[in-house]
Amino acid sequence: MADFEIVFRTHSEIEAQIVRGLLEAHGIMSVLSSAVPHSIFPLSVEGLNDVRIGVHSSEADEALRIIEDHRTELKNGEVIRLRDEFETLQQAIGYRFKDRGLLEHAMTHTSRANEDVSGGVVDNESMEFLGDALLGFVVADLLFHEFPEFDEGEKSKTKASLVSTASLARQAERLRIGEHLLLGKGEEKTGGRRKQALLADGYEALLAAIYLDGGIEPARGFITREFRDLIADVRRHGVGGEDYKSALQELLQSRDQPLPEYRLVNTLGPDHSKLFEVEVVVRGEPLSRATGSSKKDAEQEAARAALEKLKSP
């Protein structure tokens, strides 16, 4: 379904056929796909399959409008509104999904799946597994080519730091993945959108979704863009360089506090010799300020000052 977009999903094949007839009556051809492989379940079992209807990308908007206009007649299915719900996330990652159902799947935490009594919601754990393997491969390849002078131990240490839970959680926070996670009520109440582990898992699942939707090249390109600055930091500060931002984030997480925000509050000096002043904010309250020759350096210094403040008696 390379040129098709999913516009409707239901557990009822009868309802799926009704929707197909509705679309065809308006001149829109559609295709059916099921989340249950027919090689495993050759017989269709009503209420078991997650049946999806796809239409050509150029007709997706019109198909959604038609289905929505007849919404009162559709009892079990749901209109897929990933175009709206995940639009900001797609913009942030610089990739548009052909099958937006993959993106929804990647954002579905096990707590949401466990609360679904129909059994039709699948969590993202398998996608986390795939994304973790994909990320490890691409980052290892990047380090192999970027740091030929590093021995095996240095490469392994660098890779472990780059793909750590704290590192991936920071990447996820920057992309605001937490806002798009589909959580169960219990996980929502306990602040799941701010938990490092959930953010990192969602990030890995997102990588898998990009790979499954577009193949290895879009996934590799995304990871390369995401880790370009981090790899540059390794070249500047070395393998064992102190990462105060990571340390601050881990300390705040251990105290059940939200992730810190870094705000640029001032720019000083001429263009050829600028200094950047950055403020660290937690729960809307400023913790510290610092300056640096780059925003990243200023953020690191501000994080160091915040750590000292939080650790002081």
| Active site residues per annotation | 132, 204
The whole-angstrom separation of Cα 309 and Cα 223 is 35
User: How big is the CA angle at 283 (ends 281 and 286), to the nearest 5 degrees?
Assistant: 30
Residue 212: closest CA among 301, 105, 108: 105
Torsion over CA: 112, 115, 120, 123 (sign): positive
Q: From its phi and psi, is residue 215 left (phi > 0), alpha (psi between -120 and 50) or beta?
A: left
Q: What is the longest distance spanned by two Cα atoms in the chain?
A: 73
Say how far apart CA 252 and CA 258 lie, in whole Å: 7
243 token code pair: 């990462």
Question: What angle separates helix 244-254 from helix 165-175, to the nearest 10 degrees?
Answer: 90
Give the separation between CA 169 and CA 249, rounded to whole angstroms: 9
